[in-house]
């Protein structure tokens, strides 16, 4: 078993940390020996589900021990995990299942009816994460194959500026390298207990699966983020490490009325952090901090602002220095703003079924065009803006064109432009500038609710009677609107 396959972290942990706690939730604790045996049996059952090597399997579920097991078993046994955003609308999910030719969909109790609808629409086999899933443990255990590093392991669908989702293809090597990066940046150890506070479908959380395992730490499962449940889980399970997006951090600080002595490290990522929130976080929480910058296409890590820099208060406006083995550059002279570029073994294989989109961002020399604007100073990267019209609301990427198309389909809308507006709670909120007469914002929101995920819905509106400002080429000047 080579280190370039995702079977290796669990194989290693089962040998070295056999009797240590591997998975902890409200109902049980699994040791690494027990987790390894369950994953081996699950691996032996996949063929019987109609999942040949290389086939896609979807997961539509909250965080759980079973969800975590699928992250181990599907890639390790040569299948591709397609972990779906539970916040998306049925049409969006159906598009992703169809685009990837997903054959099997694993769903939990809360999404069982939705899973049945998607099964009929997309022709996928449904597996309920209950008794049906547990019956797979009757299979004979199997050893995982020794796969090449460039074998596709996971596809993660993101929004797109064209409105069509793009499936980011991540290989075994991409994810193994990223696991090493985060073991380095977070100084992970066998005594750590990591809380899965963010959803496993989100790269900010799934990125921690293999590095925590390699270190021999425990995975503490939180079904979904709720600030009271987060605090309770940290205290009851003596959590030492967590990854939160700035929106979650704000909610935590607003609710926290006591210390969390077990927490040694808070890793924050996925969205820019407000400097005032950053200062408040460091003054309130008695732990170390790591800031990470990256994106799904980088599996996801590119840079890190270390605990030492946080303690010294150095480079706090930056997102830190490139991770070891990753090249990060700006296509402009030192100190000047340009597009951020990245190259390294963690960069994606490309976009599934999207060769044109792949060529747009992956240059022939291997550099990935991030679409972000920034500059370097003292070896640290400073981000200043996004080149695309992406909005980051609550740690989720919202692409304006998707929202615009949903709003534009409402009767009476003449023109629409969607931009991000600063928001104290969400970081940014989705703001719609709409041209049309006598329009009801509540009716527009309800109209959009069946077409796009709830987190993409506009939270504020501006109605105009005059046309939107445009360039000579007819493009809406969103800079003026902002």
The whole-model pTM stands at 0.85
End-to-end CA separation in angstroms for the chain: 53
Reported for 323-332, long-range contacts at CB under 8 A and 24+ positions apart, including other chains, are 323/181, 323/184, 323/185, 324/181, 324/184, 325/177, 325/181, 326/181, 326/298, 326/301, 326/302, 327/367, 328/302, 328/303, 328/381, 329/367, 330/374, 330/375, 330/376, 330/381, 332/375
pLDDT of 381 reads 97
CB 161 within 8 Å of CB 178: no
Residues whose CB falls within 8 Å of the CB of residue 74, separated by 6 or more in sequence, listed in order = 46, 57, 80, 81
pLDDT of 161 reads 36
Name the average pLDDT for the chain.
Answer: 93
pLDDT of 110 reads 97
> What's the Cα-to-Cα distance from 71 to each of 80, 83, 201, 441, rounded to whole Å?
9, 9, 10, 41
pLDDT of 402 reads 79
Distance, CA of 128 to CA of 147 (rounded, Å): 28
Under-50 pLDDT residues of the chain: 160-162, 472-474
Distance, CA of 218 to CA of 99 (rounded, Å): 35
Rounding to the nearest 10 degrees, give the CA dihedral for residues 362, 365, 370, 372.
-140
The order of strands in the sheet holding 415-423 is 415-423, 427-435, 460-464
pLDDT of 247 reads 84
pLDDT of 159 reads 59
CB 137 within 8 Å of CB 38: yes
pLDDT of 160 reads 42
Question: Domains in the chain and their CATH numbers?
Answer: 390-481 (3.30.300.30)
Beta strand pairing call for 380-386 and 368-377: antiparallel
pLDDT of 389 reads 67
């Amino acid at each position: 078993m080579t280190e370039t396959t995702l079977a290796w972290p669990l194989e290693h942990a089962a040998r070295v940390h056999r009797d240590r706690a591997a998975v902890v939730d409200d109902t049980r604790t699994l040791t690494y020996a027990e987790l390894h045996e369950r994953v081996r049996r699950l691996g032996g059952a996949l063929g019987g589900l109609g999942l040949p090597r290389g086939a896609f399997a979807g997961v539509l579920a909250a965080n759980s021990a079973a969800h975590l097991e699928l992250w181990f078993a599907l890639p390790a046994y040569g299948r591709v995990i397609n972990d779906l955003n539970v916040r998306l609308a049925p049409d969006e999910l159906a598009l992703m299942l169809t685009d990837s030719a997903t054959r099997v969909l694993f769903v939990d109790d809360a999404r069982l009816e939705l899973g049945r609808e998607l099964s009929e629409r997309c022709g996928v086999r449904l597996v309920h994460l209950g008794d049906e899933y547990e019956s797979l443990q009757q299979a004979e255990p199997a050893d995982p194959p020794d796969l090449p590093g460039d074998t596709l392991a996971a596809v993660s669908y993101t929004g797109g500026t064209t409105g069509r989702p793009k499936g980011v293809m991540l290989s075994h090597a991409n994810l193994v390298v990223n696991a090493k990066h985060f073991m380095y940046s977070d100084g992970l150890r066998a005594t750590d207990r990591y809380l899965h506070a963010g959803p496993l479908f989100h790269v900010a959380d799934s990125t921690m699966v293999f590095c925590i395992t390699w270190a021999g730490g425990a995975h503490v499962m939180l079904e979904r983020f709720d600030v009271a449940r987060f605090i309770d889980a940290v205290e009851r399970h003596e959590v030492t490490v967590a990854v939160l997006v700035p929106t979650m951090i704000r909610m935590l600080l607003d609710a926290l009325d006591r210390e969390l002595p077990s927490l040694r490290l808070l890793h924050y990522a996925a969205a820019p952090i407000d400097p005032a929130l950053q200062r408040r976080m460091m003054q309130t929480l008695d732990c170390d901090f790591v800031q990470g910058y990256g994106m799904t296409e980088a599996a996801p890590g590119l840079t890190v602002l270390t605990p030492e820099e946080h303690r010294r208060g150095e480079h706090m406006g930056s997102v830190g220095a490139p991770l070891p083995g990753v090249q990060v550059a700006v296509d402009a002279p030192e100190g000047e703003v340009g597009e951020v570029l990245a190259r390294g073994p963690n960069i994606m294989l490309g976009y599934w079924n999207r060769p044109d989109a792949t060529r747009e961002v992956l240059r022939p020399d291997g550099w990935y065009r991030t679409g972000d604007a920034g500059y370097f100073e003292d070896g640290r990267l400073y981000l200043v803006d996004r080149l695309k019209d992406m909005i980051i609301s609550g740690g989720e990427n919202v692409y304006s064109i998707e929202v615009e198309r949903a709003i534009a389909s409402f009767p009476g809308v003449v023109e629409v432009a969607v931009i991000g507006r600063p928001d104290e709670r969400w970081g940014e909120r989705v703001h719609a500038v709409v041209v049309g007469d006598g329009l009801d914002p509540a009716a527009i929101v309800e109209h959009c609710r069946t077409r796009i995920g709830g987190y993409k819905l506009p939270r504020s509106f501006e109605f105009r009677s005059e046309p939107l400002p445009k360039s000579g080429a007819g493009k809406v000047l969103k800079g003026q609107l902002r």
